[in-house]
């Protein structure tokens, strides 16, 4: 096995262990996804500079790619993910502090509005405490912010937004088997309100007709 092939295997192993998308890693070193895929396959070279940038992004020592004695452990993975979470908390805290100051509010003002202590607000702003979904929703209204203005990335924003939904709704959304229903609902956005009302009435009739209670009643009548 060539050294280029070994490097490719190690890069892919580190990327998958840290849960990073191929496309994102390619962007980090200024390559196209196809070129990065060839690096992992061992058909394209990667420079030392690129490897250094990639190692920092993946949170692994560059020695991992050159020494048989260096391996990635569960502890390495946990440490990297904890570092990511800590960075996100710090950024949320910074944005929260800036928004609060722009609104002319003190920490005790926010604490009073949220029904918590000023110390908790301080911990949020310092990135020492994870912002709860409930408080996030309240802060958006109090500080007149949109979700992307408060949260650092779209994925995290979506997680917070979904976590604020009722339990039954959230469970429905997160169930992969319900994807066809969600896709159908998305298509309904293009339908006029009057048509949606008629469709809702039809669906309600169908649900009532097929419900166990209705079916049992019909059987008794016969």
Every domain of the chain and the residues it spans: 3-65, 85-171, 191-222
Instruction: Place 7 in a pLDDT band, splitting at 50, 70 and 90.
Output: confident
Work out the average pLDDT over 91-104.
Answer: 91
Residues 6 or more apart whose Cβ sits within 8 Å of residue 221: none
Q: Is the pLDDT of residue 220 over 60?
A: no
163 vs 150: which has the higher pLDDT: 150
Is there a shared CATH topology between the 3-65 domain and the 85-171 domain?
A: yes
Average pLDDT, the chain: 78
Give CATH for domain 3-65. 1.10.260.40
Confidence of residue 214 (pLDDT cuts 50, 70, 90): very low
The whole-number pLDDT of residue 63 equals 77
Residue 18, pLDDT > 70, answer: yes
Residue 78: band (very low, low, confident or very high) from pLDDT cuts 50, 70, 90: low
145-157: pLDDT as tens digits: 877 787 765 445 5
Give the mean model confidence (pLDDT) for residues 77-102.
Answer: 75
Ranges of beta strands (E only) in 73-208 are none
Separation CA 62–CA 54 (nearest Å): 9
3-state SS assignment for residue 130: coil
- The domain 85-171 is placed in CATH, from the list 3.30.565.10, 1.10.260.40, 1.10.579.10, 3.30.70.380, at 1.10.260.40
C-alpha to C-alpha distance for 106 and 206, rounded to whole angstroms: 54
Burial 127-160, CB ≥16 within 10 A → b, else e: bebebbeebbebbbebbebebeebbbeeebbeeb
pLDDT by residue (tens digit) across 49-60? 888 888 888 888
């Amino acid at each position: 096995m060539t050294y280029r092939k070994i490097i490719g295997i190690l890069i892919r192993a580190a990327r998958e262990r840290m849960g990073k998308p191929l496309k994102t890693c390619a962007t980090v070193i200024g390559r196209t996804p196809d070129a990065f895929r060839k690096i992992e396959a061992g058909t394209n070279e990667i420079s030392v500079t690129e490897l250094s940038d990639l190692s920092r992004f993946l949170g692994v020592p560059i020695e991992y790619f050159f020494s048989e004695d260096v391996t990635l452990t569960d502890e390495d993975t946990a440490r990297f993910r904890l570092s990511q979470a800590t960075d996100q908390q710090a950024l949320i805290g910074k944005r929260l502090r800036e928004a609060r100051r722009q609104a002319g509010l003190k920490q005790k003002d926010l604490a009073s509005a949220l029904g918590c202590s000023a110390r908790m607000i301080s911990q949020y702003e310092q990135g020492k405490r994870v912002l709860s979904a409930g408080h996030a929703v309240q802060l958006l209204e109090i500080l007149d912010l949109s979700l992307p203005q408060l949260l650092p990335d779209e994925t995290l924003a979506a997680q917070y937004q979904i976590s604020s939904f009722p339990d039954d709704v959230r469970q429905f959304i997160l169930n992969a088997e319900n994807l066809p229903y969600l896709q159908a609902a998305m298509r309904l956005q293009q339908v006029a309100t009057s048509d949606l009302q008629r469709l809702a009435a039809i669906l309600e009739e169908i649900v009532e007709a097929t419900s166990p209670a209705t079916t049992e009643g019909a059987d008794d009548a016969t």
